[in-house]
Structure 1
């Protein structure tokens, strides 16, 4: 059996395995690389060359950048704008939702933007009395269109760029993808407004995403009842400076309770005496707190979440499980935990109001802890307590534009500038941005590690040897000649249509990244055999790869919206087919205008 026949058999088995969907896609991709080596199609070095490719490095670095943008609260801020300006108008709601999703996708990928905005869109739909199903499919499809606005929108764009460089010696500009992406986005929005109500089914989801945007107020009501909680900052010249930190409110009125002393970042104070800038945390009737602050010249923090949550600090609610070592110990508001990084704001027993004094801890009791976000992440991951809501999830929904927002935006802008001007190779620019995000503490190294979508990285790395084999064995040329012979003398436009159809159909069944890796060498061979401009062919593949619209398994983003919207497997194709026609029009009629088919 010839090398090209062997490669075709491996390709067919890989596609069948992807469609079968019983094996993890990573295993299939690695199996492909090993099968190519085992049959002698590629060398050992080539079989794992994908893991050291610039494409994989670039994609991995972009995952870190995307995580930093989300962690900095930028996505939360965008969601807040959506809620603020959408009002009750269906048209405005759809346009803003789809526009914000597309813009976010351009910089943090389809899956990242859908995952970041999904909770807020569901909550917004519920608040406005609308079905999430009517918003989530347009949102996901807008993300697919948004992936073609700039280079960083999708791993497929990066593969297209690398292929363009290898085949023509010139790349595709950072914003050049937007020449097709912007019309796709505008057209998708128009179709959602016009055909969406007719083609998108009305479904009731089984469960809805938790809304944590007003988490501070919820916890205040549950733990403190009618009491207020305020952070009173000690200004310069205050008479409280020099008072003992353990009891700075010696002459406080009845009904005012000291919780503790913290610094501006929410860390428990450790100095024995109060100093300028310290913050005294008090609980009680808000009128009493206001009068006390005025009398002592204390500054109340103007915090929209009642002193519980800010960009620097937050709270975590934990439940004490049976057999925890905390059972039988004492807890009280103001107590500093054993780590020294968190303070207990409330101790509550089920069915009873929170206690203000010392009390024994029982199984089932709830503790409200406050500290810096990093301290909460670190010290609530403890088997002695059960965390109710992840501090990271709370922060991402409740704190727009956190302290890392400015450095994150600066780093993002610098990366875009480097990618646009090609001052350094794209993988280097992305790596520099990823490193900067960690060094500037926008995210921690642990968050950077967790941001990696290993399935995507292994899929790309494992399939790169197959893409190489399709080219080196002449398989791509053989398939290209077969397609050309079928089309005959019908012209390059029909060839382009054939490439679009094969790519689009395959993209509904397997990952669009895997699809691109398979189709790119074949498309380039067709371009070479028929004299078509390779850039036009590659852009057709890029558009067709983004048209993963007909099934929920086409992309993770399509799958993410399925349960929150209550969709069924067959709900996607009706509206998806209408949008697919738009993609075909762009690929077959707009692409040749921008990149003429006969250009060399």
Structure 2
């Protein structure tokens, strides 16, 4: 049976690694095969669908979206990047705070928020985005392994270890993950300026769009100048004038509530301005609209329907003076697509950008996150129950709408985690886990230092060729068996494996954050390998030394 299970596991991992099958489909086929061959019962194979780790991951995705929806990460990022002159300076300012946040919420949306900030930094200061994005992605991955809720693989490890009596708490990963993260950050800071040099090819921008951006009363732009905020001039837009109570004000004026900032911009520049947390714009999506027919109307006539507001148009004149010519393009906001469908001036439309960040609920979102962390740390209730309660409060307090909360759930990730748990069940029930454990113990001669080395290297290799969830599901039962036979602390061994699972530095396809920055930063697979090798080597040495010391002297 162990040989059959080994064949299923190997074929599944090969299919996932080569991309011949989607990860979810490969895992599903493995579970079906395991059930038909009698390796495990259906209830055991599909237990991942009700696993506490999967439930916690789903709830934390909602809480994370609530925090990010307030724009607090964007606001902090723009402030940190104000006045930076080099990529090294940008990394020194960003890595510690971003790393701290990454230990508390899922890293993927954090990286997503940092991409536009890096692009704006490139436009404003000429600092290439490629010198910032990859180090930040790696820094967040390292920091994410420091807490139970920082990454889905840690939650999966904890849920699989609990039935065996190994209690993994909120900060069980800290003694190993934090020293490794600090050393890894130092490597990133030292190597990034030299290894990620290069410029993004520039091109003349056609600033043919006229945008009028209002400053809301609660906007954090109030009381500061456009230059201080970094929203005066970039490659994508430039401030033409400030309108205050219908009259022009000097461009260097301190902004006030009710001001309207007039920009010459590219279409991408309008989307950047709309997505900026500086203005506290309304929570409505941005739509690209093409005017249907000539009706001797003006672009502002689109606002006859009170649900529609015109933000920008492809024109050189004020929006109130711009003719609504057939085929003319505008960027508008609307309460609903029905308002666009029903308007006589609207020919076709498409969504151009998501909702602007909503700053009013910032403290509520942060308090919910803090409450989840504190309650989980002190064990007031099972962590999955605490996380679900936090997700529910995120909706009940209005931080997210029920629809937005539902959209925060990444069903592909949740299905991969649930399927990986089933794959781990095949490893355990077939006896394959015992054989793997025996091989590791034989290879290491049962010596703690060699056990640590073999596990660390094996985990690092596996996490760079398969998903984090699959690596965690396969290795957790193996680690528990090794701990039982060698009398080593199982929680520390699991913390070491959880830390090594974050070493996804060599393969751009091994972590979602890698894929997200690959195109914006202009990276190739060769870049990942060249930049990732020294980082991986140093992190491996560090994790082995720290783990060996703790396993030897901390009982």
Match of 2:501 among 529, 545, 557: 545
Q: 1:140 to 1:453 in 2, by over 3 A?
A: same
| Structure 2 equivalent of residue 191 of structure 1 | 187
| Structure 1 equivalent of residue 224 of structure 2 | none
Q: Distance in 1 between matches of 2:131 and 2:12?
A: 35
Conserved? CA contact 2:216–2:257, under 8 Å: yes
Match of 1:365 among 325, 328, 337: 328
Match of 2:437 among 457, 480, 483: 480
| Structure 1 equivalent of residue 240 of structure 2 | none
Match of 1:427 among 369, 384, 392: 384
> 1:61-80 to 2 correspondence within 5 Å?
61-80=59-78
Match of 1:8 among 6, 9, 17: 6
Q: TM-score, normalised by structure 2?
A: 0.82
Q: 1:19 to 1:526 in 2, by over 3 A?
A: same
| Structure 1 equivalent of residue 231 of structure 2 | none
The total of aligned residue pairs comes to 508
> Rg larger in 1 or in 2?
1
Q: Distance in 1 between matches of 2:48 and 2:214?
A: 55
SS, match of residue 132 in structure 2: helix
| Greater Cα offset, 491-500 or 526-535 | 526-535
| Structure 2 equivalent of residue 273 of structure 1 | none
Structure 1 portions without partners, runs of 5+: 211-217, 233-280, 289-299
Conserved? CA contact 2:289–2:350, under 8 Å: no
Q: 1:10 to 1:386 in 2, by over 3 A?
A: same
Q: 1:207 to 1:157 in 2, by over 3 A?
A: farther
Match of 1:101 among 98, 123, 142: 98
| Structure 2 equivalent of residue 493 of structure 1 | 449
Conserved? CA contact 2:421–2:473, under 8 Å: yes
Q: Distance in 2 between matches of 1:230 and 1:98?
A: 30
Q: 1:584 to 1:441 in 2, by over 3 A?
A: same
SS, match of residue 546 in structure 1: coil
| Structure 2 equivalent of residue 559 of structure 1 | 515
| Structure 2 equivalent of residue 245 of structure 1 | none
Conserved? CA contact 2:245–2:258, under 8 Å: no
Whether 1:311 and 2:280 are equivalent positions in the alignment is: yes
Q: Distance in 2 between matches of 1:167 and 1:367?
A: 60
- Following superposition, the deviation at residue 402 of structure 1 comes to 0.9
- Following superposition, the deviation at residue 538 of structure 1 comes to 0.7
Q: TM-score, normalised by structure 1?
A: 0.76
| Structure 2 equivalent of residue 166 of structure 1 | 163
Conserved? CA contact 1:531–1:598, under 8 Å: no
Conserved? CA contact 2:57–2:152, under 8 Å: yes
Q: 1:318 to 1:528 in 2, by over 3 A?
A: closer
| Structure 2 equivalent of residue 448 of structure 1 | 405
SS, match of residue 97 in structure 2: helix
- Following superposition, the deviation at residue 596 of structure 1 comes to 4.1
Q: Distance in 2 between matches of 1:42 and 1:231?
A: 59
Conserved? CA contact 1:30–1:463, under 8 Å: no
Q: 1:429 to 1:183 in 2, by over 3 A?
A: same
Q: What are the Cα deviations for residues 151-180 of structure 1, in whole angstroms up to 9, with x where unaligned? A: 2110111122224433334332x2342323
Q: What are the Cα deviations for residues 119-174 of structure 1, in whole angstroms up to 9, with x where unaligned? A: 212321343222222212211110111112322110111122224433334332x2
Structure 2 portions without partners, runs of 5+: 218-242, 251-255, 264-272
- Following superposition, the deviation at residue 352 of structure 1 comes to 6.1
- Following superposition, the deviation at residue 549 of structure 1 comes to 0.8
Q: Distance in 1 between matches of 2:214 and 2:409?
A: 39
| Structure 2 equivalent of residue 136 of structure 1 | 133
Q: Distance in 2 between matches of 1:316 and 1:467?
A: 42
